[in-house]
Structure 1
Amino acid sequence: MLLLAAAPSAADQSSVQELQPMAEESFQTLLVEGTLSDLEQGCVEAAAFGLSDRQQQLRDRLLSVYPTPQTMDEVLSNARVLLTCRSPEGARMVLGRYLPGAGADRERWLRLSWQAADAALDHPRAARALRRLVNGDLLALEQLELIEAPGASAEPGEPVMVNGLDQLAHHEEAAGDRLAAAEVLLSGRSIGRMAARRLGRAAELLAEEDFDRADQLLELALDQAAADEAWGLAVDLLRVQLRLQLAAGGDGERPRQRLERLTARLDDQYSSWQLQDVGEPGPALRSPRDPGGHAAVDPLTDAPLP
């Protein structure tokens, strides 16, 4: 009876079998005879089992799966599967086989071109693709939600959505053009929490070149955070303002006082401790942004931001 109880059931055996990658013979057949969809599934399986050799063989096959010249649909499908197979450079090569005209084909091509450049960390190319996608209209870019290509080590799951305007600012900054990144952020028309974040980041990007403007932007950011009652974000912005003022040779007294008043209103002992800059925090202290912290508090409607 004990032996029977310990033996795996048929369902358990089936589950174990399902967790195994395909046999080598089947994989070699897939490389030769598999459709684009078959090759995509092979890429997903190879990534799931960490089979880098198989991934590379699949990438090589995907570069020649269609004879050239290809149709637009074939090019886009081929490039998309190469991105699934964690080969953004391969996707870029395939996309280069077809130059679309205007219209929907151009938009699809540019979205995939951005995905490939983003996944390859080719920030200048990614920025160009985004600007071309909206013909330079940053207000239109702010309305776009983009899907990131899966990263080299990403686990299967829900697609990652990013805002077009914020992504362009990220690429410009990563490419080394901090002023262009700030201009992109400042072109946004959102209000409240989103505007506060963008204004705050633009201030950090501009601080070295134009401290006075950066300080003014932080004041605007604080107004937006207060209007949205985003008090945890307001604390973060005041800390940025304090840091930038100290870096510029100031005493940081005003943002320090405002931080002290705001954190007192929020009962944010963690930030109060940081302002005192003494010792290590006790176990009862935590950041308001940490789980269980005070970033989400009851509305403070009795007065504007201190």
Structure 2
Amino acid sequence: MPSLLYTPAVTPALRRRRRWPLGAAGAALLLGGAMAPALAKIPLIGDLLPAKPVVRKLGPTAPVVPGSMPEAQFLALLKGNDLQALNLACREAVAFGFDQRLQLLQARLLTAAAAPQPLPVVLVNANALLTCLAPDGALAVLNRYGPRPGLEQEQWWLMRWRAARAGLHHAKAAEALERLAQGNLARLETVPLPLQLRKDGTLETLPALDVYAEHLVVLGREREAAAALLAGRMPGRVAAERLQQAVALLNTLPAQERDALLERALDQAAAAQAWGLALALLDDQRRLLQAEGLWAGRAEQRLQRLSQRVDDAYSEWQLKRQDPAQLGRTAQLQQQLRSPRQPGGHAPSLP
């Protein structure tokens, strides 16, 4: 193959005679004799020129889209250490689907704030990596810092949970919440965890206790998840829903114990006037008893009575609660709907 740096002009006659290019060594072998040593010392013309490195010109990191960051501004941003600006660039890259920019930003964020850094900088750095869809990078940045006991540890473990959850590292996420609980799972009830940003800009949250149970379920630790749900202290609808979930997880528990948990859930649902949930719980109870070969007639009767009473009483209450002259009847209907032991309620009437 001719040298890329030198291509000699070839006449038709020469083309017929020279089918293979020969270097100095090849010519020496063919000519032999006294000319060979002298010819061997003559370099090819292409060899006289110094080798030039191949320069790859990078194209634009993203197509030109109205509203996106110009190329020059983006390249300048990559040379700086402004974590907030890098975070905004990550958000834009995700929104526009700029994969190449996303990769460049991820790499830059791993080196933009080299250790050691104070915790606020570490948290901002990790958050930017999460925005850039790099949860493992966020975990790596967090591992550079050892938080002090107290508020620092809480902030650090919360961010570690976010990174672990985003990376689907359920064991790490569960461990982070256990550290936050400090041996008392009920503490997690008062810790709202961010799940996602809604379209209206509001943040969807869920108590850490319920999130912890979800991680345990994914890990196949159903009994521990049920125990976590039962550790909750909040009353009303929340308690009823947790009891319902615990019963579903404790499928190896004796039927009598699961039935007792459902009764507790029914009381909580009735106290919160969560009638749809109460009907669902009664249906769960009926199915449980039937599956165990037990008599489910009482559960079916209660389900039918509650369905009818809820429909009638709730409709009347909706009509009369706006009428000041019907305050007495409204209170009576509300009490009837609230009490599980009123005639027609979900629980049998007391003697």
* TM-score, with length taken from structure 1: 0.77
Higher RCO by CA contacts (8 Å cutoff, separation 6 or greater): 1
Q: 1:266, CA displacement in angstroms?
A: 3.0
Q: 1:156, CA displacement in angstroms?
A: 7.9
Q: 1:206, CA displacement in angstroms?
A: 0.7
Aligned to 2:220: 176
Aligned to 1:28: 75
Aligned to 2:159: 112
Aligned equivalent of 1:139, options 186, 200, 206 = 186
Aligned to 2:276: 232
SS in 1 for 2:79: helix
Counting only pairs closer than 5 Å after superposition, residues 117-266 of structure 1 correspond to structure 2 as 117-148=164-195, 150=196, 157-250=201-294, 252-266=296-310
Partners in 2 of 1:120 and 1:155 — Cα distance? 23
Deviation digits for residues 15-50 of structure 1 (CA, Å, limit 9, x no counterpart): xx9953222332222222351111011011112212
Q: Tell me which structure has the larger Cα radius of gyration.
A: 2
Query: In the superposition, relative to structure 1, how do residues 87 and 68 fare at CA in structure 2: closer, same or farther (>3 Å)?
Result: same
Partners in 1 of 2:190 and 2:211 — Cα distance? 12
Q: CA RMSD in A?
A: 2.4
Query: In the superposition, relative to structure 1, how do residues 107 and 244 fare at CA in structure 2: closer, same or farther (>3 Å)?
Result: same
- Contact 1:44–1:85 under 8 Å retained in 2: yes
Q: Residue type matched to 1:165 in 2?
A: L
1:305 aligns with 2:340: no
Q: 1:101, CA displacement in angstroms?
A: 2.3
- Contact 1:207–1:244 under 8 Å retained in 2: no
Partners in 1 of 2:160 and 2:200 — Cα distance? 22
Partners in 2 of 1:53 and 1:266 — Cα distance? 58
Partners in 1 of 2:229 and 2:84 — Cα distance? 39
Q: 1:227, CA displacement in angstroms?
A: 1.6
Aligned equivalent of 1:51, options 91, 98, 108 = 98
- Contact 2:283–2:303 under 8 Å retained in 1: yes
Counting only pairs closer than 5 Å after superposition, residues 2-41 of structure 1 correspond to structure 2 as 19-33=66-80, 35-41=82-88
- Contact 1:207–1:213 under 8 Å retained in 2: no
Aligned to 2:60: none
Q: 1:300, CA displacement in angstroms?
A: 6.2
- Contact 2:139–2:164 under 8 Å retained in 1: yes
Q: Which runs of 5+ in 2 are unaligned?
A: 1-63, 313-332
Q: Residue type matched to 1:147 in 2?
A: P
Q: 1:63, CA displacement in angstroms?
A: 1.0
- Contact 2:109–2:129 under 8 Å retained in 1: yes
SS in 2 for 1:301: helix
Q: Residue type matched to 1:57 in 2?
A: L
Partners in 1 of 2:85 and 2:236 — Cα distance? 47
Query: In the superposition, relative to structure 1, how do residues 32 and 250 fare at CA in structure 2: closer, same or farther (>3 Å)?
Result: farther
Q: Which runs of 5+ in 1 are unaligned?
A: 1-16, 269-297
Q: 1:264, CA displacement in angstroms?
A: 2.0
Identity of aligned residues (%): 43
Partners in 2 of 1:88 and 1:156 — Cα distance? 25
The ranges of structure 1 where at least 4 consecutive aligned residues each deviate by more than 6 angstroms after the TM superposition are: none
Q: 1:146, CA displacement in angstroms?
A: 2.3
- Contact 1:229–1:300 under 8 Å retained in 2: no
- Contact 2:81–2:113 under 8 Å retained in 1: no
SS in 1 for 2:203: coil
- Contact 1:206–1:213 under 8 Å retained in 2: no
Q: 1:256, CA displacement in angstroms?
A: 2.6
Aligned to 1:285: none
Query: In the superposition, relative to structure 1, how do residues 224 and 126 fare at CA in structure 2: closer, same or farther (>3 Å)?
Result: same
Query: In the superposition, relative to structure 1, how do residues 34 and 241 fare at CA in structure 2: closer, same or farther (>3 Å)?
Result: same
Aligned to 1:10: none
Q: Residue type matched to 1:189 in 2?
A: R
Deviation digits for residues 49-84 of structure 1 (CA, Å, limit 9, x no counterpart): 122332222112111111233332221111111122
Aligned to 2:25: none
Query: In the superposition, relative to structure 1, how do residues 299 and 194 fare at CA in structure 2: closer, same or farther (>3 Å)?
Result: same
SS in 2 for 1:267: helix
Q: Residue type matched to 2:210 in 1?
A: D
